[in-house]
Amino acid sequence: MEKFISEERIDKATEEELFEMRLWIYKESQRLEQEQKAVDNKVAEIEAKLKKFREKFQFERSQFEHDKQKFKDDQALFDQQIEILKEGFDKLNADKKKIDREWKKLEQEKGYLREDEYSQAEFFFQGVNSLLALKKRYRDLMKIYHPDNMCGDHRVCDMINEEYNILLRQFDSYMKA
């Protein structure tokens, strides 16, 4: 319809050509209105999606802020629990060290007590601190110093027997106490 564009043509146009122009203009206006409606619908749809997106974004943002605050609260609680555990472990370690010191002190007192008790009778059995070790050392010494052996000596064997009997009585009395 390019022939209808110029004003000269409109002035010189016949009724039929004017009718065609009007019809074309009407159709064109209808087409443009439909396109405008489609564009408006599309804009409304996009605006609705944008609104929905903004609402969802606001909801997600508030949810995120809530989760962030909850995480901070949980972190603070966790830090408090860690501090309580650290203090508890520190106290346990201090108590353990104290008990270890007391145990060592008690062992030393026992050791001093044993040394006092056994000091007269610890020549052949020096360093023996249990009944099993005492019996084993006695058997080993008897194998070496028994009078029936080639290197054996009756006098040394009597000394070993005497010391063994003293220590055996002390261990028995210590075990019964």
Is a pLDDT exceeding 80 seen at residue 4? no
Q: What is the DSSP letter of 65?
A: H
In the chain, the percentage of residues whose pLDDT exceeds 90 is: 44
Residue 37: pLDDT band (50, 70, 90) is very high
- Residue-level pLDDT at 171: 83
Residue 36: pLDDT band (50, 70, 90) is very high
- Residue-level pLDDT at 3: 45
Residue 125: pLDDT band (50, 70, 90) is confident
Indicate the SS3 state at residue 125: coil
Q: How far apart are CA 166 and CA 159, in angstroms?
A: 11
Is a pLDDT exceeding 60 seen at residue 1? no
| Cα 98 off chain centre by | 29
Q: How crowded is residue 174: how many other Cβ atoms within 10 Å of its Cβ? A: 13
**In the structure encoding, which two tokens stand for residue 126, read together?**
């020096």
Q: What is the pLDDT of residues 38-87, one digit of tens each?
A: 999 999 999 999 999 999 999 999 999 999 999 999 999 999 999 999 99
Q: What is the mean pLDDT of residues 20-28?
A: 90
Residue 106: pLDDT band (50, 70, 90) is confident
Q: Average model confidence (pLDDT) for the chain?
A: 84
Q: How far apart are CA 112 and CA 118, in angstroms?
A: 10
Q: What is the pTM of this model?
A: 0.38
On whether the CB atoms of residues 171 and 131 are closer than 8 A, the answer is yes
Is a pLDDT exceeding 80 seen at residue 32? yes
- Residue-level pLDDT at 28: 93
On whether the CB atoms of residues 121 and 160 are closer than 8 A, the answer is no
